Amino acid sequence: MRVGIVCPYDWSSPGGVKQHVRDLAYALMDLGHEVSVLAPAEDESDLEDFVVSAGRPIAVPYNGSVARVNFGVVSAARVRRWVRDGEFDVVHVHEPASPSLSVLTCWVSTGPLVATWHSSQERSRAMGAFYYVLQTAIEKITGRIAVSEKARKTLVEILGGDAVLIPNGVSCKQFEHGEPFDGYPRAGRTLLFLGRIDEPRKGLDVLIKALPETLRAFPDLRLLVAGPGDIDGVRSSLAPEVVDHVEFLGLISEDDKVRAFKSADVYVAPNTGGESFGIVLLEAMAAGTPVIASDIDAFAKVLEGGESGALFANEDSASLAVNLIELLSDDERRAELTVQGARRAHEFDWATVARDVVRVYDAVVQPGVKVGADFSGQFFGRMG
């Protein structure tokens, strides 16, 4: 089967949707399918062979974050060309409710079309204004997927219709093998945070506020912080008793992400909201790193209410400190979470998840019918 996949967000930047699309592409190719991915790309110098750049993205506020996306007449022309030249059996767009390549592809495509919803959000004024324009695109989708119950609820309540629930996947084999960074493991305990460091909902500030109490119990503790953002700004805000215990790694490669997990005694996910799943939790668990996470609904479900990872009260630094100290002090509990975490991660391995996605493709594909393109531009006229 020839499959075209649209990633709405910058391929050059880390992010859950981009990671999902990348891993799905590899899993589909492992199953023998041909795959082409269309995505914005700030840096086109190191794209995988199956990725087609849709041009440089622009930053727009979206769902409590800043999304780097493509949208406009020029982008629409690139989408149309990609769909026409690809001769796909099915096109699979991600986050079609965002103003991005995904909604453009919905307008352009004339054949079997599948969409995956990732985000969990409330109806906003902006979405209300965009609602009727979105409907003209979304009504063309023939197969709907949601990665979580919260993402499905967003689709049902805001846009109408329903979706089959297929969770995010994790490529367990990618994380099972790898060496820690030089000098690790250390004699002292090591924590790891991974995410955009100056995005409030990723919760780094919650973790930083928990450090003084945790350091009193573990004076040789070190926190590794991996991810893009204003490192100098965050470092300058650290209290004197904390600053020497925090090491900023910046934006790291996929290989170094595995090394970071292997270097840590505990992975900390203090995210405060806006998460519909929690793929990074599965990555940490696949790497054999015990996890402690905020008890937001998405994370609690992935961690089975605390069975495969520890939980603390969301946005509560004191709760995080107490639970961190308890976990760092209990070797048996961390060993148990390593075992349970690996078991849980394998339930979401891409080898299984990709087959579920292919079942959706099979349900919508019409034998002998390729995806075509038809775009007249009337939608941009409505948007002014």
- Let me know: does 90 contact 361? Beta carbons within 8 Å: yes
pLDDT of residue 155: 80
Closest to 192 measured CA to CA, from 231, 224, 219, 221: 224
Which residue, among 232, 257, 259, has the nearest Cα to 246 in the 3D structure?
Answer: 232
What amino acid occupies position 3?
Answer: V
377: left (phi over 0), alpha (psi -120 to 50) or beta: left
Q: How many Å apart are CA 265 and CA 233, to the nearest integer? A: 27
276: which DSSP letter? S
Q: Which residue is associated with the tokens 């709907």?
A: 144
Q: Is residue 161 predicted with pLDDT exceeding 50?
A: yes
Q: How confident is the model at residue 376 (pLDDT cuts 50, 70, 90)?
A: very low
pLDDT surpassing 80 at residue 27: yes
Cα-based distances in Å from 64 to 121, 278, 345, 349: 9, 16, 27, 29
| DSSP line for 88-147 | -SEEEEE-TTSTTHHHHHHHHB-S-EEEEE-------HHHHHHHHHHHHHHTT-SEEEES
pTM of the model: 0.74
| Residue-level pLDDT at 319 | 98
pLDDT at 127: 53
> What single letter denotes the amino acid at residue 128?
G
CATH 3.40.50.2000 region(s) of the chain?
2-169+349-383, 172-346
pLDDT tens digit string along 327-357? 999 999 999 999 999 999 999 999 899 999 9
Please give the C-alpha separations between residue 122 and each of 39, 103, 154, 299, in angstroms, as whole numbers.
26, 19, 7, 19
| Class of the CATH-defined domain 172-346 | alpha beta
Residue 84's pLDDT band, with cuts at 50, 70 and 90, is very high
Question: What pLDDT is stored for residue 227 in this prediction?
Answer: 94
- Residue 304: count of CB within 10 angstroms of its CB: 14
The answer to whether 291 and 284 have CB atoms below 8 angstroms apart is: yes
Confidence grade of residue 383 (pLDDT, cut at 50, 70, 90): very low
C-alpha distances in Å from residue 248, one per residue of 36, 176, 251, 292, 377? 35, 24, 9, 20, 46
Sorted by sequence, the CB contacts under 8 Å of residue 186 that are 6+ apart come out as 220, 222
Residues shown for the chain: 384
Span 2-169+349-383: which CATH code?
A: 3.40.50.2000
Give residue 63's pLDDT: 54
Instruction: Say if residue 321's pLDDT is above 90.
Output: yes
